[in-house]
Every structure is written in structure tokens, then in C-alpha cells.
Structure 1
Amino acid sequence: MEAIATQIPRIDVDPFSDAMIDEPYEMHDILREAGPVVFIPKYDLHVVARHAQVQSVLTNWESFISSAGVGLANFKHEAPFRPKSLLLEADPPDHTVVRTVISRVMSPKTIQQLRDLFEAEAEAMFDRLLEKGRIEGVKELAEHFPLKVFPDAVGLESEGRDNLLLYGDMVFNALGPRNDLFERSMERFKPVSSWVMDHCERKALRPGGLGHLIYQAADTGEITHEQAPMLVRSFLSAGVDTTINGIANVLLTLARHPGEYAKLHANPALARQTFEEGLRYESIVQTIFRTTSRPVEIDGVEIDGDRKVLTLLGAANRDPRKWSEPDRFNVDRNPVGHLVFGAGIHGCVGQIIARMEGEIVLRTLARRVKRIELTAPHERHLNNSLRAMRKLPLEIFPA
């Protein structure tokens, strides 16, 4: 039964069409300015696109639950096509148990111990790239670095890591409708599904890695041995695609804004801030869903219980109510409060490592590369939830 939305602006738009995924910002403006809550008839769906409302929904887990799925599908009424994520698709108290384990595994102390290894890999990568000069920025840089350092940290073997790209593409496509993008990603993933699942098992993980620490929590009884491989799976889906596309988007943005790159090159200490501003400017994750656990009100708009609510992270991160000149990329901006990694108890578990990886790549780039230029148009990789990149032809000039 269609929601009663007589006082809510109704916008006939499809956020999951190829055109809107490729270039969403005009749609974001329309939805954001129409009101604090809008209604999309195509999906019988309430949408929030302003920063304040998106943040409010994401931080109120009691009223806007995740256990019914963080995509368009409502798991109260349809079975998930795969086992639910123990992190993203669970609410307290179940969520609290596994989140506590992951938070300890991903503690600042543990992550800091990885920094030297990540920095050494970044230096070696730029040694190779600067010898070439002309590079494919996605495959040789944005994909290469996270696929090397993060699976190394988890304890994954080197062979077959490209399979993680197919897995992540499917996972994020599954957050949208069952459209062609989802169906194609499922077909690509099927041949490698057993590889991904097998490599979440203890026997496939190097002792001492982050994955091994998860299994130690199972040994002590904090989680079950059945939950351990599912947590490793969540780990891998959270820590690869978002970082890859975050780095790719920032590289494209810097190439398009040579004046801003000159500031970074002159002051590599801006690397962390530049990465955060790049994430705000081109949000890696564009959409995430919640489900109302009861009748709720958002800024005077009443929404029934058991209704899907779409939060537009990309729109919130360019909300002029929150940011001055939101459509301007500015490395001098300190974009505290952007919502790329979500907010509240379900904030992205991999964000600590993603931020460290992005900072290290940009700091090394700033020190070693004087100028970065596009040599041909970039190509987007369309995904229902990710702001993703397929090709990024670049030329980098040594400092």
C-alpha cells in the first residue's frame, strides 16, 4: 500500500537510473531544496537529502533501524539474498557485541602499527609510477594500493585479490533496486563467490593479521565461530571499495583543480584535510537506507512505521545549510561533520584504515609529484550506491 504523502513534496525521479548515478548533483539540489523530507513515487519511498535530517536519521538507531536492511529491500518482508551483515544489518544488542570486537581489532594502536608498512608501500608504488609518467590512475594507483595493504593487514593471500572488487561491487549494488546494475554485478560475482567465502575462513588467513584477531575473539567466546567468517567478510567489503573509490575520486578532483593541487604540493601536511574534503566533495557512498521501527516525525513530516527511508549522503555533503560554497573543492576547508562514512553506531567500520590510506597516498603524492593532469576523459563505473570510477588516465610529473 502506497504511503500517505499528501503534504510531502512528490518528486518523480529515479536516483538509481544510469543518468542520475553518473551525474547526481542536479537531482540532489532538487530533492534537497524541495523540503526536509520528499517522496519518490517510483519506489514508494521517503527521502532525506539535507545534512541535518540525514545525520538525525543515521544517529537515531532506535527509530530508524538497520536490521531490516540498509538497502531498498525490507528484510521484514523478504529474505535477504545472502546472510545479513553482522555489522551493517543488525541493531543493539546484537550489533553491540560484534562492534565491540571489531573496534578492538581496529583500535588506533593496532592501526598505527600498520602505518610504517603502508608508507613503505606508497613510496615503492610511486617509484614505479613516476618511472612511467603516464598511468591508469584507477588500476595502477587507486586499486593497487588498497588491494595490497589492506588484505595484507587482514592476512589474506596475494593471489586472487581482484575477486574482492567483484564482491564489493555486488554488495553495494545490492543496496539499490534489483535493476540491471545489480543483475550484472551478481553474474560477475557468481564465479568467484566461493573464493571470497573460502578466504574468510581461518585456514586461509595468515596468523597475526586482523582476520586472525577476529577468530581469537571467537576462541574466547565473545562471538561464535560461525560469526567469525561473516565478520571477516564484512571487514573485506567495508575496507576495499570505499577506499579505492575515495582515492580515485580525489585524484580526479585534484587533476581538475590544479590550483588546489599546488597548495597540497606546497604543503603536504594538508594531505589528511585534502582527503576529507575530497570525500565530502565526491561522496564515495551516495545512498544508504534505514527502516522506521515505529511511526516517526521528521521536521513535522509524519512517516508510518515499517517504511523505508533513503538518506542521500552525497546530497547532505553538499548542503549549503551546512557548508559555505558547497560545490567548490577547497583544500583549505576542514570539512568536519561530512557523512561519507555514515554516523552513529553504524558508522563505517573501515573508516580508520581508509582515512590512513588516503592520507598516506596524498602525502606521498604531494611530496613526489609536482603536477597531475588528465590525459583523456575519465570513465565512471556505475553502481547503485557508490560514486565509483572505471578509468582515470593521468600523467604525473616528478617534483
Structure 2
Amino acid sequence: MIKPSHIANSAAPPAVPPVDVHGTGAAIVDIDPFSIEFFEDPHRIHEALREAGPVVWLPRWGVHAVARYEEVRAVLHDPAIFCSGRGVGLSDFAKEKPWRPQSLILEADPPAHGRTRAVLSRVLSPAVMKTLRERFQAAANQLVDRLLVRREIDAVADLAETFPLSVFPEAVGLREDGREHLLPYAGLAFNAFGPPNELRQRAFETAAPHVAWVMEQCQRENLKPGGFGAAIHAAADTGAITHEEAPLLVRSLLTAGLDTTVNSIGAAIYCLARFPEAWAALRADPTLARAAFEEAVRFESPVQTFFRTTTRPVEIGGVHLDEGSKVLMFLGAANRDPRRWSDPGRYDPIRSTVGHVGFGSGIHMCVGQLLGRLEGEVILSALAAKVGSIAITGPVVRRYNNTLRGLERLPVTLTAA
């Protein structure tokens, strides 16, 4: 737990001495974590950030950052000092207006956060996931059968995107037309957490139709009965939330429930194609599907970063932060911190991944995690049961986003078992 006066730092001393030190006591590391160079090879820079110290100063954007597991998890678990209500991106909502109404989940603090979170937790409960499993597994099996006929596919467009888009909108209760707006909208939302760079500006330039469609779909009259969306609106009838809050909660589900799942499934397939021993283990024991998905989330960290803002002066890792300091958390770096993980650069579906921060941690852990985990598990179990080999057959292309790490193209050949 972080105390306003001090946080103990038990990590090993930096292996590389910092070039310079900021006035707060943080090592200065002049990198841009929102650059294409960084997106292409974050792991090398993550290592430099971890070794520079428990807290670093990034002069490019004027923020402090944490990249070691201990400090990242500590920040995630102390919302009273490191708040989300002032924005989980670079923008500080105490100083500037949000680009759209704040999320009632991601950009909210207790006690308000607990009230709205409780509604989504009921809508997406483990019991509800059980009712979806058979339908999702059947859809996964059918998709893999179709892809095996084609053999040569793009594992992003044809699998990682197609499967969630075939089950998620139906579970929410969205109408059929216009679903092509879902991925661009989620990409916009996650790009918006970054700085005013080209990625963010380009996303906003093309945002209008995607935002309009999503907001229209969040209204009660446009949602089918029996879906997650209708259940959220029903919570307003009981007084758990207001009728004005219900569409915003549906929007939160649409934002959190698709892009991260797409990138996680893509990451899992990419890992299994590159690590034949892991693929052999999954083929031998398809019950490892959930573990293989979980390890891919740790290994690739589809959600790379989030910000918090300090609510009061605090010391962390020997660095003194003033109230209103933005702190950037490198979730991907924490998930490969050798202080926490043995041989962290190896993808191993047998590994215990308990405690990884790929879905966040603490009260703001990803609200759609159970749904994403279900989708990841059933599609990997279908692949393990039906596919003998997955071979990468062309250039792998990254998709750039200020917050997310994923692939644009992953050409593979599938061979039947």
C-alpha cells in the first residue's frame, strides 16, 4: 500500500546509472513511448526504463512513469492517491475538457465508480458467462472449420477480428447494420489516451461517423431484448443507475469489450505460431487454452499503458511527486519485469500468470475481462482440437495505437490435424 509520505522500494538497484536526475529525484529517460520506433520494439526500451529506476521522468511529455512490476501494481492498487477521475490518458480533466463525456467506469473514482461497476459486474458475471460458453464454442468451431478449408488466411482479419465480431455484438444486442464502426471507435478511444500526436489527430479527423453510430446504439430503443445492453438499461429501472447513465455504461462495454479481445487473440495466435513447443503443449492438452490465452496477454500486453493523476503529494520509490502529477504506467514492462517473472521473455502456457497486469489490477481491472477470456479460451480450444500446425507465411505488420499493442496483418497457413 502506498502512503502519502513513503513507499518502500525493495527492487534491485539500477544496473545502468541514469544520465541525469529530475528535480523530483527521478532518473531522466528521453524516450517517446508514443512513437512508431517505440511501438515496433518496446521491450528493449522497457528494459532501459526498468533499469533506470523505480520511477523515471519522461521530458518529451513532462510526466513521471513507472515500469517495474512492484511500482505499477502499487499505483494500480491505490486509487485514493493515484486517481482515474482526472483521466487515464495524458489529458488532465481538472485542467481541460474531455473529448467526450467521461467513462463512468474507466474515468471514475470511488464511491461513484463502485456503484456503476457493480451494475456491469452483474451483467458480465461468471454465471452469465456460463450461459454463453456453449454458443461461443460452437461459433468458434464453425469459424475454424471454414478457415481450414481456405488454409491460407490473415489471422488478424479472418480470425482475431472475425470471431469477436461474430459473438460480441450479438451478446450486447446490437443491430446488424453498422457494426463496422465498432473497431474504429474503440481504436479512437484508446488513441485518445495518448498525446496530441499524429495517431491521435488522425483518429479524431475520422471519428464523427463512428462516434455517432456508437452513441445511437447505446440508446435503449436500439438494443435487442435479452442482451447486455438491455440488462444495463434494466438496471436503471431499479434505481441502481440513472437512465442518463445507462447509455454511457453501454458505451463503456463497447469500448472495453472488443479491441482488447481482438488484440489478445491475435497475440495468442502470433505466440503459438512462433513457439512450436507451446503449440505442441496446447495440442496435447487443449484444456490449456485458457492458460495459453492468459500467457499471451502477459507476454504481449495488448494494453500497454495507462495514466493516473496524484491527488496529493506522495513519495514512491524515493521520488517525490506533487499533487496533480501525471504518472504513466507501463503495463507491458511490468509484465516482463524479471524481478517478478522467471525468464519473462519466453512464452510458456504452463507458466502461472497469476498477478499479471495485462487487464490492469485493482478496482479498475478491465470490466470486460471475463468476456474476453471466454472468447480467447474457446477460439484457442477450437484451434487446438482441429489444427495441426500454424505457420507464418508472410510479413507480419503491426497496428499502431497510443495505448494498444496489436497486429494489422498476420498471414498464416493452417494445416488440419
TM range, smaller chain: over 0.9
2-side partners of 1:278 and 1:317: how far apart?
A: 11
Aligned to 2:150: 132
- 1:211 counterpart = 2:229: yes
Query: Over residues 70-123 of structure 1, what are the superposed CA-to-partner deviations in whole Å (9 max), with x where a residue is unaligned?
Result: 001000000111110000001011111101111111111111101111011001
Query: Over residues 330-381 of structure 1, what are the superposed CA-to-partner deviations in whole Å (9 max), with x where a residue is unaligned?
Result: 1221211110111111110000000111011111110100100111011111
Amino acid at match of 2:402: N
1-side partners of 2:163 and 2:135: how far apart?
A: 12
Aligned to 1:333: 351
8 Å CA contact 1:174, 1:182 repeated in 2: yes
Aligned to 1:286: 304
Which residue among 364, 381, 385 is the counterpart of 1:367?
385
Amino acid at match of 1:172: F
8 Å CA contact 2:24, 2:319 repeated in 1: no
- 1:89 counterpart = 2:107: yes
2-side partners of 1:162 and 1:252: how far apart?
A: 24
How many positions carry a matched residue from both structures? 397
| TM-score of the two chains, using structure 2 as the length reference | 0.94
Q: Flag as ranges the 4+ runs of structure 1 deviating above 4 A.
A: none
Query: Which structure 2 segments of 5+ residues have no match?
Result: 1-20
Aligned to 2:36: 18
Aligned to 1:63: 81
Amino acid at match of 2:401: N
- 1:311 counterpart = 2:329: yes
8 Å CA contact 2:25, 2:318 repeated in 1: no
Aligned to 1:120: 138
Aligned to 1:236: 254
8 Å CA contact 1:11, 1:39 repeated in 2: yes
- 1:225 counterpart = 2:243: yes
Match of 1:61, SS state, is: coil
Aligned to 1:274: 292
Aligned to 2:18: none
- 1:146 counterpart = 2:173: no
- Over the aligned positions, Cα root-mean-square deviation in angstroms equals 1.1
Aligned to 1:301: 319
8 Å CA contact 1:5, 1:39 repeated in 2: no
| TM-score of the two chains, using structure 1 as the length reference | 0.98
Query: Over residues 133-155 of structure 1, what are the superposed CA-to-partner deviations in whole Å (9 max), with x where a residue is unaligned?
Result: 01111111000111111111111
Aligned to 1:202: 220
Q: Percent identity?
A: 51
| Displacement of 1:4 | 5.7
| Displacement of 1:191 | 2.5
| Displacement of 1:6 | 5.0
Larger deviation: 266-275 or 55-64? 266-275
Amino acid at match of 1:120: A
Match of 1:88, SS state, is: coil
Match of 2:28, SS state, is: coil
| Displacement of 1:207 | 0.4
Amino acid at match of 1:299: G
